[in-house]
Amino acid sequence: MPRTRVLGGYAAAGSWLDGLAAGAKVACLLLLSLAAMAAPGWEGLALLGVALLALLASCRLPLGRLLLALRPATVLLVLSLLANGLVVDGSFDLGLMGGVGLRWAGLARAGMAVCRIVLMVGLVLVMTSTTSTSSLSRSLVRGLSPLGRLGLPVGDVAMVVVVALRFIPEVEEEFALIVRAQRARGVRFDQGGPACRLRAYAAVMIPLVVALFRRSDELAQALRDRCYASGSGQPWRQGETWGARERLSLATSLALLVAAIVLPALS
């Protein structure tokens, strides 16, 4: 099964979002993420969920990719459910063992927290699947350009962002390659207790760190060969054109933000 990269996973699919300006997509992501966090009730979260499903369908992203993208957040989701729904002082609605039980109000809060996380992961998945890392970096640098007057090296920030985003899939591929190699040598990662499994993964982390340092040296040498110097970031400051689609997308995101906050008060 192919691994899903939430970041650094751009693959042009010819959807309408591919041609949208990266700055507009970042602004829409911020507005919709704010809506997911500020929505006070289930009505607003349901509205945002429908919008997310529509985005996934229009971008030809299967729902399975969202489920795979949520796998790294599984522990966080489970902890959120337990922290909100589990009580140990006997004031439970459903008893489990002794004074330990579940409270329905806590589970409802946990459900809302989980929905917020799912929405934000889905929105990030949509944006990174339809936006190249270079476009995303240029958009970030344009947003930071006013800070250049205060001495911020905007061009260097752009280079750091590009390298960081592009190293995410590199690290993932290198990790998977080393795991397969260690399994072929007889290392078992699914046997024994937690301490035993951590020791087994030490056989992965050491060569992974060495490989990453080697790639970093190769990248630094390539930059030196191309005479890269600090502050040479003018290509990142090229502007982008906003048309009717960008303005409509921004207006729609703003409307969803307002609706997600206002809907519970109207019901």
Mind giving me the DSSP string for 215-264?
HHHHHHHHHHHTT--TT--GGGG------HHHHHHHHHHHHHHHHHHHHH
Higher pLDDT, 130 or 9: 130
- CB contact at 8 A, 43 and 262: no
Do 185 and 222 lie in a common domain? yes
Do 173 and 204 lie in a common domain? yes
100-102: strand order across its sheet:
86-87, 100-102, 94-97
d(CA 158, CA 235): 10
Which residue, 186, 181, 178, is CA-closest to 204? 178
Burial of 104 (0-12, 13-18, 19+ CB in 10 A): exposed
Tell whether pTM > 0.95.
no
- Residues 216-229 have a mean pLDDT of 82
Does residue 140 fall inside a structural domain?
A: no
Do 44 and 176 lie in a common domain? no
Q: Is the pLDDT of residue 33 over 80?
A: yes
Return all residues near 147 (Cβ < 8 A) that are at least 6 apart. Answer: 154
What's the pLDDT tens digit per position in 150-179? 777 777 777 777 777 777 777 878 888 888
The pLDDT score that the predictor gives to residue 12 is 62
What's the pLDDT tens digit per position in 175-218? 888 888 888 888 787 777 777 777 878 888 888 888 888 888 88
The pLDDT score that the predictor gives to residue 32 is 94
Does residue 169 fall inside a structural domain?
A: yes
Do 31 and 77 lie in a common domain? yes
Do 217 and 184 lie in a common domain? yes
Q: How many other C-beta atoms lie within 10 A of the C-beta of residue 31?
A: 20
- CB contact at 8 A, 36 and 257: no
Does residue 99 fall inside a structural domain?
A: yes
Distances (CA, A) of 159 to 22, 136, 193: 17, 12, 42
Do 97 and 161 lie in a common domain? no
Do 54 and 184 lie in a common domain? no
- CB contact at 8 A, 124 and 32: no
Does residue 149 fall inside a structural domain?
A: no
Do 119 and 250 lie in a common domain? yes
Amino acid letter for position 150 = L
Do 2 and 91 lie in a common domain? yes
Does residue 144 fall inside a structural domain?
A: no
Do 3 and 127 lie in a common domain? yes
- CB contact at 8 A, 66 and 22: no
Q: How many other C-beta atoms lie within 10 A of the C-beta of residue 262?
A: 14
Domain ranges, residue 180: 154-230
Do 112 and 50 lie in a common domain? yes
Does residue 71 fall inside a structural domain?
A: yes
Site of tokens 């921004």: 250
Does residue 31 fall inside a structural domain?
A: yes
Do 252 and 224 lie in a common domain? no
What's the pLDDT tens digit per position in 46-102? 999 999 999 988 888 888 888 888 877 787 788 888 777 777 776 766 667 766 777
How many helices (H) and strands (E) are present in the chain, helices listed first? 9, 3
The four Cα atoms 166, 169, 170, 173 give a dihedral, to 10 degrees, of -170
Does residue 137 fall inside a structural domain?
A: no
Q: What percent of the chain has pLDDT over 90?
A: 15
As for how many domains the chain has, the answer is: 2
